[in-house]
Structure 1
Amino acid sequence: MLAFFVFAATAVQAAPVDVYRGTLGGSEVVLELRKPDADGELQGRYFYLRHGVDIPLKGTLNALAEALPLNDGWSRSQPELPIFANEQERSVKWNVAQQGDALTGEWVDGIHGKKLPLSLQRIAQYDPEKIAPRGVEAVTLAIVQGAGSGVSQDEVISAQSTPYDYLKLGEQKLEQGKEVVLAPDLAWRPVRDTRTKFWYPRLTRHPDAKILAQTNAVLEQRHWGMSLAALGCRSAIYRDNGPEAGTLGYFDHESIAVTYLSRAMMSVVESGATGCGGAHPNNHYDPFVLDLLQGGYMDFTRLFKGAKYGDYKLELSEQMQGFIRKAVGKYSKDDKECTEVLPSYMALMLDKPDKMSFVISGIGHAMGVCLGSGVSVPFKMLKPYIKPQAERYFQR
């Protein structure tokens, strides 16, 4: 089954889709339409900017039916999902005509007897298959997520490559949390999209304006990726009648913590148990460290003697691995059945005041209780393993 899923995720090719933006009644909407199939049928989706929840569409331009949510008090036995009409065959339809790059017409609610004008303009075209998760990522999402964003974690969410999803996020005004000031030139604050509810950090002060912008670009992309997944679970209410469909997939319970910030490094941890009907929740403890001297993610080979990146993870020198094992035995108070897997399932993070932690991350669901276990050591204990030119990273 998994082999078939991988093949399906990599082999399917589709024509580019058109993206439209405009109004439905007094609300701003974004629409995506695929090219018609052999019998002229169209498939697409749209969202209201204020909600960000995709609603499937299917039919012809003059009768484009809108999917109905699966929590409205009625159901069918083994329905073909999504459902585009209720048990009385009443439906909500878009009756539109195309004139060049414009779509104009009427939204007709045949269930509640309401009509609204529609007016949209084509603004972009892209191929969703080129940005979709593939291979291991696609299989993992199917198992632990149940509903994803449709955008690979390696893809930059932008107006050029992902115009439909970019419009869902890029113009949203964020709620601002209280600024955390560490020095006159060093601070951060939490922000959040009120539609997805969880807070995510942004750097607000740093002595290097370029580094500040690069850092926030990374944080924004991570924030957006999580928001898309949360909104994807909201949208699942049109194609899945499971208990998580229509929720935020527990992203609204996600914990995002800034564990360390200096002028040289920023350490953040994402942790929680997200999911939208997969085989099991995505229990995770995912630290990452940003380089505030050179920009982007920290390349730990800049810091440690003998470190290198293998096919899947950072590989530390034998000497440093020995140091970590000794530190775990001497200083860690966590369950030994957990910490004995270090450094096989390990992530590096930073903690106040001036400590580096070696913690369990990326381990299988069965050992999820071990996530975050590990050991913390003061920077000064790392000195024998740090490259001479990297000592500046460990100074405030």
Structure 2
Amino acid sequence: MRFKGFLATTLLAVIVAGSALAQVPATQTVYEGTIGKAPVVIEIVKQGNLTTAQYFYSRYHLNIPLTASGPLTFEERTNCWEDSCPLVGKLQLKATATGLSGQWLGQAGKKINRDVVLKKVAERRFTPAERVADATTLRSGLSYDSPVAALDNPYLSRLYDSGLTEGKETMLEGYALRTVTDKATGVSGVRLTRAPDAKTLPLANRLLDGLRFQMVDGALSCLAESKESSPAGGTAGGFDETTTTITYLSATLMTVQQSGSTYCGGAHPNNFWNRTTYDLKSGQALDPDQVLKLYARPAKTDTDGAPVETPEYQALKAKLTPKSPWFVGDTDVGECLSDDLGYGYSLSFSDKGLVFSLSDLPHVMGACMGEYYVVPYSALKALWRPQAKTHFSGL
């Protein structure tokens, strides 16, 4: 019995210690300055005795990983984290009143040495989502789950922003918008320039910038690859040919459509088409079940683990056939209309009603992606939840 009690106490201590370790905050410090005469941005991230770093030249915006070999000493290998990879240079730094200074010592070719002068421009404390065991997992804690999170990261927000080329202003439902193109990668996006209520602009543009940053991240990753490691290495991987458009705007909702075909290696390209409605009050993707009676409340699941639909939603779906006046798909692609397709519709809102689409399907089913039904708002009377009044006037 004493052994069982000791074992239980020990296990509890291990669990508590592990949980505490997972909650240890890390500090991300960002510096701007020069290596030689070339402008750079460098970040150093520390958690306890773990340190990781990376930097980019402002001219190229290609991320260069660094491995810590001392408190302020780092090794640069050819876009590689393994110790066996060729050593390109060493970064030896020391603290100054305004940041850091030191030298970049070349370890390959002519072994050129360059002076380094860095000024501290930002610092952020964060808690990694998962337990950190080494510098590699510490770095993974810098990844972000939502598009807009990169905007709050002082390093990523600089890496993904090389300046924008602006297109002509166009109008959509009383809103003015323009296409913007990232100068380093050629990735295009869209931003709002005017709105009936100017308070809409900051949050809407924050969402749109975040979505563009995701595409820029993909393009930079492809550009950093070598031709030897990927046939698409050194290119933007098709991310510069993707499209982002706003298909619906209101005072509280914005629907964004993204599509394209990207490839940075692998068996097949990534063909995608998706449409998402965002809540401009919360800055989050709108869950249609918040405003429509789609699923049972309290939540229930069927024998397969799927959420139980409401009778109202089942009645509406029963009307969704190619013979319905709401059908807007292509009847020539019969396999896309099969009842056993294996993929459900995604929902979004437009100026005409509730849109049922097939999005982000596997490569072999790419031809099936797109709109299939647009149910007018007048046909949704039985489905509205009380919260819908927040977004749809006249209910």
Common fold by TM > 0.5? yes
Which amino acid in 2 is paired with 1:49? S
1:3: which partner in 2?
Answer: none
- After superposition, where does 1:116-127 map in structure 2 within 5 Å? 116-124=114-122
Q: How far is the alpha carbon of 1:36 from its aligned partner?
A: 11
Aligned to 1:22: 33
Is the partner of 1:179 in helix, strand or coil?
A: strand
**8 A Cα contact 2:262 2:271, kept in partner:** yes
Distance 1:129-1:50 versus aligned 2 partners, 3 A rule = farther
| Counterparts in 2 of 1:34 and 1:218: CA distance versus 1, 3 Å | closer
1:202–1:317 distance in 2 versus 1, CA, 3 Å: farther
Look at both structures and tell me which one has the larger radius of gyration over its CA atoms: 2
Instruction: Assess, with a 3 A threshold, how the Cα gap between structure 1 residues 55 and 389 changes in structure 2: closer, same or farther.
Output: closer
Which residue of 1 is the match for residue 330 of structure 2? 333
| 2:220 maps to 1:231 | yes
Mapped partners of 1:254, 1:83: distance in 2: 34
Contact 1:36/1:43 (8 A) holds in 2: no
Q: Which amino acid in 1 is paired with 2:345?
A: M
User: For each residue in 1:280-315, what CA deviation from the matched residue of structure 2 results, as whole angstroms up to 9, or x when unmatched?
Assistant: 443322211134577653342454345569799998
Aligned position for 1:203: 192
| Residue in 1 that maps onto 2:145 | 153
Task: Write out per-residue CA displacement over residues 99-156 of structure 1, whole angstroms, 9 at most, x where no aligned residue.
Answer: 4663223334452565543101344455788268x9xxxxxxxxxxxxx996222374
User: Which has the higher relative contact order, 1 or 2, with Cα contacts under 8 A spaced 6 or more apart?
Assistant: 1
Distance in 2, Cα, partners of 1:260 & 1:178: 19
Instruction: Classify 1:214/1:81 alpha carbon distance in 2 versus 1 (closer, same or farther; 3 Å).
Output: same
Q: Report the aligned-residue RMSD.
A: 4.4
- In structure 2, the CA distance between the partners of 1:259 and 1:325, relative to structure 1 (3 Å rule), is farther
Q: Which amino acid aligns with 1:271?
A: S
Q: In 2 relative to 1, CA 212–113 (structure 1 residues): closer, same or farther, beyond 3 Å?
A: same
- The aligned counterpart of 2:86 is 84
**Paired residues of 1:186 and 1:206 also in contact (CA < 8 A):** yes
Q: 1:323 aligns with which of 302, 316, 323?
A: 316
Tell me how far 1:32 sits from its aligned partner: 2.7
Say if 2:288 and 2:348, in contact at 8 Å, map to a contact too: no
CA–CA separation in structure 1 for the residues paired with 2:100 and 2:47: 15
Pair 1:277-2:265 in alignment: yes
Q: Aligned AA for 1:337? A: E
TM-score, normalised to structure 1's length? 0.70
1:198-347 equivalences in 2 (<5 Å): 198-237=187-226, 241-263=229-251, 265-278=253-266, 280-291=268-279, 296-306=284-294, 317-330=310-323, 331=327, 332-334=329-331, 335-339=333-337, 340=339, 344-347=343-346
Find the counterpart in structure 1 of residue 64 from structure 2. Answer: 55
- Say which SS state the counterpart of residue 177 (structure 1) adopts: strand
- 1:311-364 superposed Cα distances (whole Å, 9 cap, x missing partner): 999986443344344333313434332233589522123456x25421112444
Partner of 1:107: 104
Check conservation: 2:148, 2:207, Cα contact below 8 A. Answer: no
> Which residue of 160, 164, 181 maps to 2:155?
164
Change in Cα spacing, 1:20 to 1:82, as seen in structure 2 (3 Å) is farther
Q: Which stretch of structure 1 is more off in the superposition, 102-111 or 211-220?
A: 102-111
Structure 1 unmatched runs, 5+: 1-10, 71-78, 86-90, 135-147
Q: Compared with structure 1, are the counterparts of its residues 182 and 32 closer, same or farther at alpha carbon in structure 2 (3 Å cutoff)?
A: closer
Q: Which runs of 5+ in 2 are unaligned?
A: 1-21, 133-139
In 2: Cα distance, 1:82 partner to 1:175 partner:
41
Q: 1:192 aligns with which of 181, 185, 199?
A: 181
2:76 match: 66
Aligned to 1:173: 163
Task: For residue 60 of structure 1, report the CA deviation from its aligned partner.
Answer: 4.6
- Superimposed CA distance per residue, residues 345-390 of structure 1 (whole angstroms, 9 cap, x where no aligned partner): 22123456x2542111244444333222522344444455445884
The 10-residue stretch of structure 1 (47-56 or 367-376) with the greater mean CA deviation from structure 2 = 367-376
